[in-house]
A and B are shown apart, each in its own frame.
Chain A
Amino acid sequence: MPPAREWRSYPQRYKMEAARCKECGKVYFPPRLVCGKCQGREFERFNMSRTGKVITYTVIRTPADAFKGQAPFAVGIVKMDGGARLTTQIADVSFEELKVGLPIKMEFRRIFSEGDAGLIHYGHKAVPVRQ
């Protein structure tokens, strides 16, 4: 992958930076230039809370080439508290534990590596919050 493609998204990948529409309050992750709800163009940027819950999930058994060594692994759509929804891997979880509503927190993790030089892509993965 061209390095610039990854570098541009560091604020989202590393800090989970989102944008809140100043007009209607809708939150976008990643940030956008125009709000799909009210057409507003003024946003305030903020780093989302790292806690949230699972909306839906699956276990990937047949992955894309870049994730081959990792399968099987869990992925899900999670809703961040006070933030947006996003798609993420769910790590450190037994597959039986997966359920709608599972509380999670986001942790900075290695996502995958590519190429002969092993360029490593970092980002966030969800892990269950255990009481």
Chain B
Amino acid sequence: MRDVAVIGVGMQKWGELWEKSIRDIFVESALLAMDDAGVDRLDSMYVGSMSPGIFAAQEHLESVMADYLGQQYIPATRVESACASAGLAFRLAWMEVASGISDIVLAGGVEKMTDVSGGEATYALATAADMKWEAMNGVTFPGLYAMMAVAHMHKYGTTREQLASVAVKNHYNGSMNPRAQFRSRITVADVINSVKVADPLNILDCSPITDGAAAAVLVPADQVKNYKKAGVKIIGSGHATDTIALHDREDIAAIRAAQIAADQAYKMAGKGPRDIDFAEVHDCFTIAEIVVSEALGFFEPGQGGPAVESGETARDGRIPINVSGGLKSKGHPVGATGLAQIVELVEQLRGESGQRQVKNARVGLAQNMGGSGGSCVVHILEVM
């Protein structure tokens, strides 16, 4: 297996991009990544997208995007793993380069979510849960994570304020990210007094509906010298699944797929949680960041809440989490999120993150998951 490096990343500003189509959104970010890498031809590409059929009335996205990216005839693959689609697209691109089949592979992700009504978007997202035995009994995605929060609060004493602290931190970080959808700073009181969605989660505990894309270009590590920028090496990759329904998990206050995927990635990288300088994690809801920070081994089970509240996960804390603003502030175009995490890792590791730069960042971790944790992808990247 060959070592693989990222030599280019791209991401346009996220938000409600009414004037742009799903094609425009994807191609703009993909071209930024290709320009960053200094390439105009690809050997192959992967397109992560959860539900373009419902959101944008277009399937067969691999052909659409290879065509509109000016890469006709190359092999292209659409990847779907709900909100982990882009993380998985990145993993498959890594595997293709590592295997020796291709030398220049683009991994991209895109979702165009604001063309449909809130009800239709809720329906499209619900298809990532067990439609028949969860959603059709009235539970929504915020509802599933709310039940995880109640279980975590019951088992460990996690507090409402600790949940809110995740949103406060991520909005603060996102206020320094020019590409973030919501750049306003908020307080714990703002979160606790915002509109109720599924108790104990309010609207400011939830990631938003977003249009956006992100992309990265991968090449063999020993060819990085042929390109204009410093490469960032992929030193660990992990991928796991779990039961589709939350109610079938033994421990509802944990996300086992994240733990398994992380263990694989740590083992491959020859590193542990203490070797990670910063992490981008899947904070689709505030409770998710707390539970995942435990699954990744940054904190003991039950300590994720106190850790965020005491600032351990702030940009200047022991283990900075979501310095990009996370899904909460940056936005969550579901099929693109995993690659936005990679964009943040690569830029931080190159020292290009300006105001929100993590000092001495040499090793970063990205964790991207689908549904209530039915799938999870973890990557570890290191400065070369």
- Supply 24 A–B pairs (Cβ within 8 Å), ascending by A: A30-B133, A36-B243, A55-B252, A56-B148, A56-B151, A56-B154, A56-B252, A58-B139, A58-B150, A59-B196, A64-B126, A64-B135, A65-B123, A75-B143, A75-B147, A76-B147, A77-B246, A84-B248, A86-B247, A87-B247, A88-B137, A89-B137, A111-B137, A121-B136
> What is the size category of the interface that chain B forms with chain A?
35 or more
Interface code A99-114, partner B: CB below 8 Å = 1, 0 otherwise? 0100000000001100
A95 and B154 contacting across the interface, CB-CB below 8 Å:
no
- B136, B147, B197: which contacts A77 (Cβ < 8 A)? B147
Q: How far is the CA of A60 from the CA of B137 in the complex (A)?
A: 11
Cβ-defined contact, A75 with B199, below 8 A? no
Given A62-B195, A64-B138, A87-B139, 16 further pairs, Cβ under 8 A: A9-B132, A55-B151, A55-B252, A56-B148, A58-B139, A58-B198, A59-B198, A60-B143, A62-B197, A64-B123, A67-B138, A70-B138, A77-B147, A77-B247, A87-B247, A111-B137
B residues 120-165 near A (Cβ < 8 Å) are 122-123, 126, 130, 132-140, 142-143, 146-151, 154
Whether A58 contacts B136 in the complex (CB less than 8 A), given A65-B123, A85-B248, A87-B247, comes out as no
Residue numbers in B under 8 Å from A30 (CB-CB) = 133
**Contact surface of A with B, Cβ cutoff 8 Å:** 9, 29-30, 36, 55-65, 67, 70, 73, 75-77, 84-89, 95, 100, 111-112, 121, 123
Residues from chain B with Cβ under 8 Å of A75 in the complex: 137-139, 143, 147
A58 touches B199 (CB 8 A): yes
CB–CB B199/A95 < 8 A: yes
CB neighbours of B198 from chain A (8 A): 58-62
**Which residues of chain B are within 8 angstroms of A61 by Cβ–Cβ distance?**
195-199
Measured between beta carbons, the chain B residues less than 8 angstroms from A121 are: 136
Contacts of B132 in A (CB 8 A): 9
Q: Is the CB of A56 within 8 A of B147?
A: yes
Task: Please give, as numbers and ranges, the residues of chain A lying within 8 Å of B147 by CB-CB distance.
Answer: 56-58, 75-77
Whether, in the assembled complex, B245 has its beta carbon less than 8 Å from a beta carbon of chain A, the answer is yes
Chain A, residue nearest B196 (CB): A61
Inter-subunit contact A87/B119 (CB<8 Å): no
Cα–Cα, bound, A7→B119 (Å): 25
Cβ A123 vs Cβ B137 within 8 A? yes
How far apart are the CA atoms of A118 and B126 in the complex, in Å? Answer: 22
Cβ contacts under 8 Å, B126 to chain A = 64
Q: A30-B133, A55-B252, A87-B134 are in contact. Are A60 and B247 (CB under 8 A)?
A: no
Chain A residues closer than 8 Å to B130, beta-carbon distance: 87
Q: Which residues of B contact A63 (CB under 8 A)?
A: 138, 140
